[in-house]
Chains A and B, each alone.
Chain A
Amino acid sequence: MSINDRVIAIIAEQAVLDPSDVTPESTLEDLGIDSLGLVESIFAIEEEFDISIPFNANEPSQSDFDISNVAAIVAGIEKLMSERA
């Protein structure tokens, strides 16, 4: 599975949706993921990819990690993975 598909699978599970209902343009708000759901998703992504995401739950907008939509999350993960490699 591609990084995109793996991320969508995690987010879909968190939102209790079918992966086909999660698009790159979807925002977490669109998908009904609240703040607790968000930190749980971040945790699941870190576990899945063995990376550390610079996400600050106090001020998500100030984090060095863009969560504005699914595509932005995938891009952020790809960047972190390429830096690690």
Chain B
Amino acid sequence: MKRVVITGAGTINSLGHSVPETLEAMREGRCGIGELEFRDVERLAIKIGGQVRGFEAEGRFNRQQMSLYDRFTQFTLAAAKEAITQSGLTFNGDLSARSGVVLGTAGGGVSTWDDNYRSVYEDGKNRVHPFVVPKLMNNAAASHLSMEYNLKGPSFTVSTACASSNHAMAQALAMVRSGMAPVMVTGGSESMLCFGGVKAWEGLRVMSKDACRPFSANRNGMVQGEGAGIFVFEEFEHAKARGADILCEVIGSAMSSDAADIVMPSKQGAARAISGALADARLNPEDVAYINAHGTGTAANDKTECAAVADIFGKHADNLMISSTKSMHGHLIGGTGAVELLACIMALRDGVIAPTIGYEEPDPECALDVVPNEAREAKVNVALSNAFAFGGLNAVLALRKV
């Protein structure tokens, strides 16, 4: 079994257009959530979100690319550029032939669906642009990434709602570990902040109208975000041989299915994913100092997640830190685990724990150290990142400082 390390990271989200900008915002406990701006927003009951601002596709992409790239693909390519540039890798020969892309997204090209449904249903048009299908398909981002960087090995997209990115990265880990691929570009992207995307979420009645306050007794729901996180997962010896700067090691993962309910989370399912990741990484519970929580800010998730953590970690649950950065960047749905992995990397590399902001009142059902409101300095050797999706599909990753 080969060791797997991260040698490049990139992102774009409501906190920043790069990893350094995002980590700075997390250190400062800044909130990227604000008033949504797009057509027909006045017809929504939910008017806030973690929207990416100041991102101009014009100038980054040429006209032909623009006609093929949905916003979720644009985010992917912007983040991938940062990650692959940082890794210093160029893909040719055998490396190109064997390396691939595995990305998560829940909705794919949601705004392309939205714009074109609007055009044919509302505006009564009878003809759509010929690239609607290649633009909206869930694998568009992975495909364009493979084309841009000459990645000719196994590439695909996984879609497991809010756990999509974690499932993708767990898969990338397995592929590099097994020797199937020397490098996998992985992570995820989401862009559902358009009228139809937010309207659909409104229907569930789990969205907050004012803020995302994970673990706080007065929390009142989730807030959606958008963006992408992309990482270069590389086989350790390959990275070492070329003198790459290693951000951290990916030491384990586990996936589990609740097999119970299409929306309500299960403590047992979450706990099995966490304990599975510990076993896969050959860790004792006491080794874990920080968990980046799924922490959506819904009543159901937060208490279920805290109960699962308490069950698995026992007494050590009171010693570890668990924070939800969704309070700052919102819930990026299929891209969320990727952006949240950055908080784990910051904990391992910089010894800074990103806070759970908006925390106002302790909840006895979430009685853990949630790093309320202010970032904290702490030495962390091992961190976990949780994702528990609608549909009861869970994926947890374990990272170690190198």
Interface string of A43-78 (1 = CB under 8 A from B): 100110000100001000000000000000000000
CB-based contact B127/A40 at 8 Å: no
On chain B, the number of residues with a Cβ less than 8 Å from chain A's Cβ atoms is 6
CB-based contact B127/A43 at 8 Å: yes
CB-based contact B127/A39 at 8 Å: no
Who on chain A is nearest to B130 by CB? A39
Which of B64, B67, B130, B131 contacts A42 (CB under 8 A)? B130
CB-based contact A36/B131 at 8 Å: yes
By secondary structure, the A interface counts as helix
Could you tell me the distance in whole angstroms from the C-beta of B134 to the nearest C-beta in chain A? 8
Which of B64, B67, B127, B131 contacts A46 (CB under 8 A)? B127
Chain A positions 13-54 with a Cβ under 8 Å from a chain B Cβ: 36-37, 39-40, 42-43, 46-47, 52
| Complex-state Cα separation, A39 to B130, whole angstroms | 6
Is B242 among interface residues, defined by CB-CB distance under 8 A? no
Is B129 among interface residues, defined by CB-CB distance under 8 A? yes
| Complex-state Cα separation, A52 to B64, whole angstroms | 23
Who on chain A is nearest to B129 by CB? A43
Chain B positions 106-154 with a Cβ under 8 Å from a chain A Cβ: 127, 129-131
Could you tell me the distance in whole angstroms from the C-beta of B261 to the nearest C-beta in chain A? 44
- CB-CB under 8 A from A40, the residues of chain B are 67, 129-131
Could you tell me the distance in whole angstroms from the C-beta of A71 to the nearest C-beta in chain B? 24
Which of A36, A47, A57 contacts B127 (CB under 8 A)? A47
| Complex-state Cα separation, A46 to B64, whole angstroms | 19
Chain B positions 29-78 with a Cβ under 8 Å from a chain A Cβ: 64, 67
| Complex-state Cα separation, A66 to B131, whole angstroms | 22
| Complex-state Cα separation, A46 to B131, whole angstroms | 15
Who on chain A is nearest to B67 by CB? A40
- CB-CB under 8 A from A43, the residues of chain B are 127, 129-130
| Complex-state Cα separation, A43 to B129, whole angstroms | 7
Interface residues of B (CB under 8 A from A): 64, 67, 127, 129-131
Q: Which 6 A-B pairs have the closest CB atoms?
A: A39-B130, A43-B130, A40-B130, A43-B129, A46-B127, A40-B67
Q: What are 16 of the A-B contact pairs (CB < 8 Å)?
A: A36-B130, A36-B131, A37-B64, A39-B130, A40-B67, A40-B129, A40-B130, A40-B131, A42-B130, A43-B127, A43-B129, A43-B130, A46-B127, A47-B127, A52-B127, A57-B130
